[in-house]
Amino acid sequence: MRRRLSRPAVAAPPWSGTGPGARRLRFWPAAVVAAVVALAGALLVPTAQAAIACRITYTVASQWDGGFGANVSVNNLGDPVNGWRLTWSFPAGQTVTQLWNGSFTQSGSQVTVTNADYNGTLASGASASFGFNGAWTGSNPVPTSFALNGVTCSGSANPSPSPSPSGPNPSPSPSPSPSPSPSPQPQTGLVGWATQGGGTTGGGNASPTTVNSLSALTSALSSGSAAVIRVSGTINCSGMLKVTSNKSVIGNSGAAIVGCGLNVTNASNVIIRNLTFRNWDDDAINVQYSTRVWIDHNSLSNGYDGAIDVKRASDYVTVSWNRVSSHDKTMLLGHSDDNGAEDRGHLRVTYHHNYFDGTNQRHPRVRFGNPVHVFNNYYRNNGGYGVASTEGAGVLVECNYFENVADPYHLGEASSGPGTLVARNNQKVNSGAGQTGGSVATIPYSYTCDTPSQVNSIVSAGAGAGKINI
């Protein structure tokens, strides 16, 4: 924290990003990565003519050996619902291991998810979303039938008399809309390094506590128990507020932390989502001596030092769907050249779908971590540089969109010696060639690269606070 460096020019070595340590990507077919399942129903209540009708979107956001992450959207097409229960059966013995934005039970193959206390009311046409991580063996086919409050969903407000798919009419899936949609929904679940080491669930299914004052927020963050902390309104503060283990810190609509930042130190299993940070006087989010941290869908601007810094042997971190603007030093990974004894073998971080909008440098600036994964980010009008790999770090830079960035990535930075960097499948518009060299360790998790030429529209539409239902 509070470290400023200036960067001299760096000479570019020859490119050699396909060495023996370079990995092969596993791309999962689109049929596995996303599926929209529509089934049907209407329920007439004898005295009120109330009808339930619904559409369910079930998306596999990421998949790895034995595990996967999924997002589910419940769209109410019928009369208003006050309290919902969604049920389905897994076709191949899959299990839910952790879930957010709701609670779940599972008996055999049947899963039941009920709403959280803040997303149980669905007006006609409204939606609620939840996500989960699961386990599978053999195969991971998507469920084909869902029921909302006991009524099978059809994707239509009109009851469908033919739930059986055995007939010749192929109408059950009439919406094969092409996947290059600007909606970021396919990868809003947890992806990347924070899925490793046991995964990241934050406060899990703890009953949410809403805070709207500095004293209430400070108390909730320091609790020794697992907690889901919902921040409401604007909280003004200074310095750094310590975040302890097993916490989900989630902003309600419009929530902002102004003047200070969150310090995740000596902690594990922390989620920070949907918050706006402004005018912090140190770092906005600092992670040190901590593991299994997910920083997602935040907006950050006009601060003093780092927007999101990760340092001091921290590990298993995902930084996703954040928007940073009007700021200089954005994301530092590894704080000092002389901290290698502590940091080597750690500092494994995934940066994906972040929007670096007119920021200057450190997107990220990396020391020691290998492999660090930088994919599907949108770089726009960055005055200094995009990515720097230094001090023996190994960084994979792929499927990003660079627009008006003269120096998209390079090796070494200021007094820091070079690391290695492999770049592939990046889209560059009015941007420099970049500098690469060496090889990078294998990425252990599965993920999906969006089409690089579409990343600017996907990320600008979906990054930042207020761009996700939480």
The set of catalytic residues is 362
CB 369 within 8 A of CB 203: no
CB 354 within 8 A of CB 338: no
CB proximity list for 387: less than 8 A, separation 6 or greater: 363, 364, 365, 366, 374, 395, 397, 408, 409, 410, 421
Mark residue 239 as left, alpha or beta (left: phi above 0; alpha: psi -120 to 50; beta: remaining): left
Can you give the C-alpha Rg of the chain in angstroms? 23
Q: Give the tokens for residue 95.
A: 């299990």
Q: What 3-state DSSP class applies to 217?
A: helix
Tallying the residues shown for the chain, one arrives at: 470
CB proximity list for 29: less than 8 A, separation 6 or greater: none
Consecutive H or E run containing 130: strand 127-135
3-state secondary structure 259-316: EEEEEEECCEEEEEECCEEECCCCCCEEEECCEEEEEECCEEECCCCCCEEEECCCEE
